Chain A
Amino acid sequence: MKKLLSLALASAMVLSLAACGGDTKNKDAGNGSTPAGSNPAASTPAAPAGDKVIKIGVFEPASGDSASGGKKEMLGMQFANAETPTVEVGGETYTVQLVPADNGSSTDKAPSAAAQLVAENVAIVLGSYGSGVSMAASDTFKDAGIAALGVTCTNPNVTAGNDHYFRICFLDNFQAQVLANFAMDKFQAKTAYCLGETGNEYDQGLIAFFKQIFEANGGKVITASFPTNNSDFNTYLNQAKAEGADVIFTPVSIAYATQIITQAQSLGITAPFLGSDTLDDNMVLEAANGTDIQLYVSTFYQEGGAPEFDQGIKDYINSNSSAKDANGGNDTIAAVTAMGYDAYYVALEAIKAAGSADPAAIKAALSGVTYNGVSGAIAFDSIGDAVRDTAYIKHSTNSNAWELETVQKAG
């Protein structure tokens, strides 16, 4: 019984402690001294403009497995923000401020990262790279009445049943279909070996769709999955070889993809590798550099698609060492960077269309926004998904560059 009392008191104490913590935070904000959390990046030059500020939340992983992708996506937004740091709303000029929150690539940290953005009073949220964290944070944004604009979260469940979540990328089933058709058309593939991370909804979802389509067209699919943090892929690749796979489909995250490519090279795998949008990354490209691996990926954007943007972002990356670090140390443009760039402008369009900085108005306006971005025309359907019927398939030249293979349409 004493314990019961103690417990109650303990909780009460903690509660008051928490409340105290909250107060100090408020005071900070009230004083007008910049709370640390609200400065997006020292790299972004402070824009000279009106006193009015509109905040855009950047909900991206800066740590964890998806950090590499999240940082590149954010790079596009930062570049866009540097390029267009203000927006006209109802005749007034607002300075746009990016507010980042690290969701740690993990669904259990996502809700509190999302709450951080909400606490900063952001008008709209961009992100995330990775569907799981987007889904986990979805309800926090929903409760706050803030619209979220997914950049490269391709899982169907992100937007389904949510009127506040939108996205500008294509979906997994479309991507899988494109790749399955490509495998059959280009390589006359009969047997496909699919390798994904155990328990990762992105990998396994794409593999499941790929399998459905590939088998429906008379192909044979062998699936395998590796545990998280695995680095030994020799047995998987040898199995693919032993089964006589015509293509190897690896929709895995960047760290695994680089390992698979280097190990495949030393095992002398000749079957072509098909990858999803995650593999469109310069670290993967570097792994394939100088090898005989045939690597094909489906993606949102192909370098050279918008020369002005290419030039701009390259200058931006080269002029800024932290941006270059975020991009993996060189200036190859990742598709997610282009997507981040487009997402920023779509958000600005929505703010302009709403004619106010009110999150609810922006949310209402977002569904009607159309925008011609560097990655193509963007418009939303009734679910909130971008109407996209194009995916680019490109292959690695194995000398640190991508080359456009084909542009695939749906159907």
Chain B
Amino acid sequence: MEFAISVLISGISVGGQYALIAIGYTMVYGILRLINFAHGDVFMVAGLLGIYLSASLPLYAALPLVLLLTVALGFCIERAAYKPLRSAPRMSVMISAIGVSYLIQNTATYITGGQPMTYPVIPFLSDTVVIAGTPTKWVTILTPFLVLALVLALQQLINHTKVGMAMRAVAKDFETAQLMGIRINSIISVTFIIGSALAAIGSMLYFTNFQAITPTAGALPGLRAFVAAVVGGIGSIPGAVVGAFIIGICENVIKSTEFTVFSDAGTFALLILILVLRPTGLFGEKVTDKV
């Protein structure tokens, strides 16, 4: 019983962290129809920035700076690698994303020398608390609530502000939105900024829990978050959150059985099952093909 609760707690906590990354994937896909493969690596860079900045600055200065720099990185990636390709075929943009991901990982390897780095201890978040006989960190408990709060705020932004309306319009129809006088490029930049900011917050939570950062540390959470976004119906923010919790819990349930080898394969099997049954995910909109 204790064990079951601990599995559930880990699943929910890690699901919350995936959710923050998954929102970045889903928003970018909704607007650009682009799988931003570099997003997981932005998440990793946010973690590395946390390490380097906190080494020389106090935490209360370092963490906001991490947020700021990560946002700048996301913005620059979009401007440098995706904007020039706006009229190119979709596969080229996706390749560009893979290229950026390559570049970030290789640069991180070059700078860190490939050694795992240790994330600083954030007071309070790293403290231990005992829940139903299982000791865990405070961050585990706080993550789901923080995620819900952020998602509600984001929903407010999207549904009740002018920028949000523009974002919805662009997602619905790129060209018409442009014709209506919406400045597409700034809307896309806003999307990347929001996505990167959430990834930075996600990295603080995630790496407080799992402290070592290697250049490939973003790959696995990135992939899982992406799967979560697809399961939930890519393009839909509530979908991404629900998907992330499902994936997080599933992963931990598989890890608690004797089939641990399949903890990755299991999530993918779930993904394929959902795609076959509901091709656009749980909350995705039906798309009809135009000739």
Q: Which residues of A contact B (CB under 8 A)?
A: 62-65, 67-68, 71, 198, 222, 224-236, 238-239, 241-242, 254-255, 258-259, 262-263, 266-268, 283, 286-287, 325-326, 328
Q: How far is the CA of A224 from the CA of B212 in the complex (A)?
A: 21
A262 touching B116 in the complex, CB below 8 Å, given contacts A225-B260, A229-B220, A235-B252: no
The docked-state distance in angstroms from the alpha carbon of A263 to that of B211 is: 9
Contact indicator B219/A229 (Cβ below 8 Å): yes
Dominant secondary structure at the A interface:
helix
Top-7 shortest CB links A-B? A67-B114, A242-B3, A231-B210, A229-B220, A255-B116, A235-B255, A238-B6
Give A47 Cβ to nearest chain B Cβ, in Å.
26
Chain A residues with CB under 8 A of B210: 231-233, 259, 263
A255-B214 contact given A238-B7, A242-B2, A267-B135, CB 8 Å threshold: yes
CB distance from A250 to the nearest CB of B (A): 14
Q: Closest CB of chain A to B259's CB: distance in Å? A: 10
B109 contacts A by Cβ under 8 Å: yes
Contacts of B128 in A (CB 8 A): 266, 268
Beta-carbon contact of A63 and B114 below 8 Å: yes
Q: A63-B109, A235-B6 are in contact. List 19 more A-B contacts (CB 8 A).
A: A64-B114, A67-B115, A68-B114, A68-B115, A224-B258, A225-B261, A226-B255, A231-B220, A232-B209, A234-B10, A234-B136, A235-B255, A236-B260, A239-B255, A241-B3, A258-B116, A266-B137, A267-B136, A326-B113
Report how far A260 CA is from B220 CA in the complex, Å.
17
- At the interface, yes or no: B217 with Cβ under 8 Å from chain A? yes
The 6 listed contacts between A and B (C-beta, < 8 Å) are A63-B109, A224-B260, A227-B264, A229-B216, A259-B210, A259-B212
CB distance from B256 to the nearest CB of A (A): 5
Contact with A along B1-41 (1 / 0, CB 8 A): 01100110011001000000000000000000000000000
* CB-CB under 8 A for A238 and B263, given A232-B210, A259-B210: no
With A64-B114, A328-B115 already in contact, the answer to whether A226 and B216 are too (CB < 8 A) is no
The complex places the Cα of A64 from the Cα of B110 at a distance, in Å, of: 11
Contacts of B211 in A (CB 8 A): 258-259, 262
Chain B residues near A283 (CB-CB < 8 A): 115-116
List of B residues within 8 angstroms of A258 by Cβ: 116, 118, 211-212
Q: Say yes or no: A235-B209 contact (C-beta < 8 A), given A224-B260, A258-B116.
A: no
Look across to chain A and name the residue whose beta carbon is closest to the beta carbon of B6: A238
A230 to B11, CA, bound (A): 14
How many A-B pairs have beta carbons closer than 8 Å: the answer is 102
A125 to B210, CA, bound (A): 38
| In the complex, chain B residues 98-136 whose Cβ is within 8 Å of any chain A Cβ | 109, 113-116, 118, 126, 128, 134-136
Given contacts A198-B261, A227-B263, A267-B135, contact A235 B220 (CB under 8 A): no
A401–B211 Cα distance when bound, in Å, is: 21
A326: which B residues are within 8 A, CB to CB?
113
Contacting B256 at CB < 8 Å: which of A68, A71, A235? A235
Which chain A residue has the least Cβ–Cβ distance from B213? Answer: A231
Task: Name the residue in A64, A227, A241, A328 with the highest tally of chain B Cβ atoms < 10 Å from its Cβ.
Answer: A227
**Bound-state Cα–Cα, A226 to B209, Å:** 17
Flag B252-270 by CB within 8 Å of A: 1 or 0 each: 1001101011011000000
Chain A proximity of B208: nearest CB distance (Å): 10
Minimal beta-carbon separation of A129 from chain B (angstroms): 13
Q: How far is the CB of B15 from chain A (nearest CB, A)?
A: 11
- Contact between B10 and A238 (Cβ–Cβ < 8 Å)? yes
Binding site for A on B (CB under 8 A): 2-3, 6-7, 10-11, 14, 109, 113-116, 118, 126, 128, 134-137, 209-212, 214, 216-217, 219-221, 252, 255-256, 258, 260-261, 263-264
Which of A198, A233, A238, A239: most chain B Cβ within 10 A?
A238
In contact, A231 and B217 (Cβ under 8 angstroms): yes
A232–B10 contact, CB under 8 A?
yes
Q: How far is the CA of A239 from the CA of B216 in the complex (A)?
A: 26
A67 adjacent to B135 (CB under 8 Å): no
The one of B2, B115, B263 in contact with A226, judged by C-beta atoms closer than 8 angstroms, is B263
B107 to chain A, nearest CB (A): 12
Q: B255: which A residues are within 8 A, CB to CB?
A: 224, 226, 235-236, 239
Report which of B135, B256, B260, B264 forms a contact with A266, defined as CB distance below 8 A: B135
Alpha-carbon gap, A222 to B3, bound state (A):
16
Q: Which residues of A contact B118 (CB under 8 A)?
A: 258, 286-287
- Nearest chain B residue, comparing its CB with the CB of A269: B135
Q: Is the CB of A238 within 8 A of B134?
A: yes
Q: Are A232 and B261 in contact, CB atoms less than 8 angstroms apart?
A: no
Instruction: Please determine whether A229 and B217 come into contact, CB atoms closer than 8 angstroms.
Output: yes
A236→B252 CA distance, assembly (Å): 9
A75 to chain B, nearest CB (A): 13
Nearest CB of chain B from residue A80's CB, rounded to whole Å = 22
Q: Which residues of A contact B214 (CB under 8 A)?
A: 65, 229, 255
Report whether A235 and B217 are in contact in the complex, using a CB–CB cutoff of 8 Å.
no
In the complex the two chains form, what is the Cα distance from A266 to B137 in whole Å? Answer: 7
Question: Which A residues lie within 8 Å of B221 (CB)?
Answer: 231
Chain B residues positioned under 8 Å from A239 (CB to CB):
3, 255-256
A71 to B137, CA, bound (A): 34
Chain B residues, Cβ within 8 Å of A64: 114
Output the least CB separation between A222 and chain B (Å).
8
List B contacts of A62 (CB < 8 A): 114
Determine the distance from Cα of A328 to Cα of B117 in the docked complex, in whole angstroms.
10
Measured CA separation A262–B220 after assembly (Å): 20
Assess the A325–B136 pair: CB atoms within 8 A.
no
Closest to B116 in A: A255
**B contact residues around A229 at 8 Å (CB):** 214, 216-217, 219-220
* Chain B residues near A235 (CB-CB < 8 A): 6-7, 10-11, 252, 255-256
Residues of A within 8 A of B212 (CB): 231, 255, 258-259, 262
Residues of A within 8 A of B217 (CB): 229, 231
- How far apart sit A236 and B291, CA to CA, in the bound complex (Å)? 51
A262 CB contacts on chain B under 8 angstroms: 211-212
- Could you tell me the distance in whole angstroms from the C-beta of A230 to the nearest C-beta in chain B? 6
Picked from B7, B116, B134, the residue with its CB within 8 Å of the CB of A68 is: B116
Q: Which of B116, B258, B260 contacts A254 (CB 8 A)?
A: B116
Q: How far is the CB of B181 from chain A (nearest CB, A)?
A: 45
For B113, what are the chain A residues with a Cβ–Cβ distance below 8 Å?
67, 71, 325-326
